[in-house]
Each structure stands twice: as C-alpha cells, then as structure tokens.
C-alpha cells in the first residue's frame, strides 16, 4: 500500500498533481481543503466553523481537521492507498496521523513537496481566484496570511519527515505534465 503526502504552499499545484498521482497509483485522494469547501457548500455545522477560519486565511483548528480526516480515511476501508493533499499542516496533525495509521497497520510511505517561489504563487492564486471565485485566493492580505501560516506552522514538517527519511522535493515550476513526470519518478525511485 502506498500512502503519500503532497506538501507545498498554497497554489503550488497540490490538488492538480494529486489527481494525476491518484489515477496512476489507484489511490484515494483526500484534500482537507476540498472537504471543508464541500461542507461550506452544504451549509453543515463543520462548514460554518471552517469558513470563519478559511475566510481569513487561517488554519482550521487541529482537532476539527483531524476528526474529519480520520472519518474520511475510515470511509475507505478497501483503499489501495491514500494521497493526502493539504494534510497534515501542523506537527500535531502529523503526529496524530502517524498514530492513527499505526492503529490501521498502515504508515506514510513518503512526503513529496512541490517547490514554487512565493512571488509566482501569488500570481497563480490571484488568477485561480478569478476563475474559481474562491475568496481566499482573491485577496493579497489573505494570501500572505496563508503563506505566514505555512511558514510558521507547516514548514516544521519538512524536518519531521526528513527525520523519518520520508521527505522529497520536486520542482513545482513548469509544464503540468513535466511536473507530474518528476513526481512519478520520485515515487518510483524511492518507494
């Protein structure tokens, strides 16, 4: 079973590339951002709570995010593997994910980080926001806050996974298919 984490700043292409990886390796794609957005569209209590954080570009609290993630994994007992996109984003989430996977006799195979410069990401996010209408993609202050959240809370995970020898960098700039090819190579050469 292959269990991957796709890691990277907002706009680095995690969602797009996770779909390619999911199709190639027959994995279940779990995006916590998409799960929150589905909850918001369906006006659930969880959606209402998540929205108050997402609208500002803040992370949603760990306990809420972890509970949602665990329930999504438990919904796929016959999965051949998972690709986690946008989760974990804090050390607490990473530690609890490891413990949770142990209870299922699973583990993270590797973490792949898409590397893209912040200036390029801002342009990508603003352009994505125009197409999607996502409010957190349309406001430079919110975008900067999401980068700050990433740099403060998520970037320590690089060392967390390096210490487990599970961290790999991929250049996230260039043609979409070329980036997929780099990711597939990284998986195939290191799994």
Q: Catalytic site residues?
A: 14, 89, 128, 134, 146
Helix axes 176-190, 14-25, angle to 10 degrees: 50
What is the Cα gyration radius of the chain? 16
DSSP E strands, 44-159? 81-85, 110-115
Q: Site map for ligand AMP, 57-86, x if CB under 6 A? A: xxxx----x--------------------x
Q: What's the full length of the chain, in residues?
A: 191
Residues touching ligand AMP, count (CB under 6 A): 18
C-beta of 117 vs 188, nearer to ligand AMP: 117
Query: What minimum distance in Å lies between the beta carbon of 49 and ligand AMP?
Result: 11
- Select the residue interacting with ligand AMP from 89, 94, 97, 112 (CB under 6 A): 89
Q: Which of 62, 73, 78 is nearest to 100 (CA)?
A: 73
Copy the structure tokens of residue 128: 């994505």
Please tell me whether residue 97 binds ligand AMP under the rule CB under 6 A.
Answer: no
Type and span of the H or E element at 24: helix 14-25
- Select the residue interacting with ligand AMP from 146, 157, 179, 183 (CB under 6 A): 146
Copy the structure tokens of residue 174: 């260039």
C-beta of 53 vs 160, nearer to ligand AMP: 53
Query: Which residues contact ligand AMP (rule: CB under 6 A)?
Result: 10, 32-33, 36, 53-54, 57-60, 65, 86-89, 93, 136, 146
């Amino acid at each position: 079973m292959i269990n991957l984490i796709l890691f990277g700043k907002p706009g680095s292409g995690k969602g797009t590339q996770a779909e390619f990886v999911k199709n190639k390796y027959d994995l279940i794609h779990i995006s916590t951002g998409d799960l929150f957005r589905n909850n918001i569209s369906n006006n659930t209590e969880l959606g209402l709570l998540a929205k108050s954080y997402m609208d500002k570009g803040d992370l949603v609290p760990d306990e809420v995010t972890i509970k949602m993630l665990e329930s999504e994994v438990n919904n796929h007992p016959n999965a051949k593997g998972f690709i986690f996109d946008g989760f974990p984003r804090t050390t607490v989430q990473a530690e609890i994910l490891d413990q949770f996977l142990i209870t299922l006799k699973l583990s993270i195979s590797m973490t792949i980080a898409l590397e893209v410069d912040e200036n390029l990401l801002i342009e990508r996010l603003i352009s994505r926001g125009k197409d999607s209408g996502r409010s957190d993609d349309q406001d430079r202050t919110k975008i900067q806050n999401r980068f700050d959240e990433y740099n403060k809370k998520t970037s320590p995970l690089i060392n967390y996974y390096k210490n487990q020898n599970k961290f790999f960098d991929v250049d996230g700039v260039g043609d979409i298919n070329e980036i997929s090819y780099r990711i597939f190579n990284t998986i195939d050469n290191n799994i």
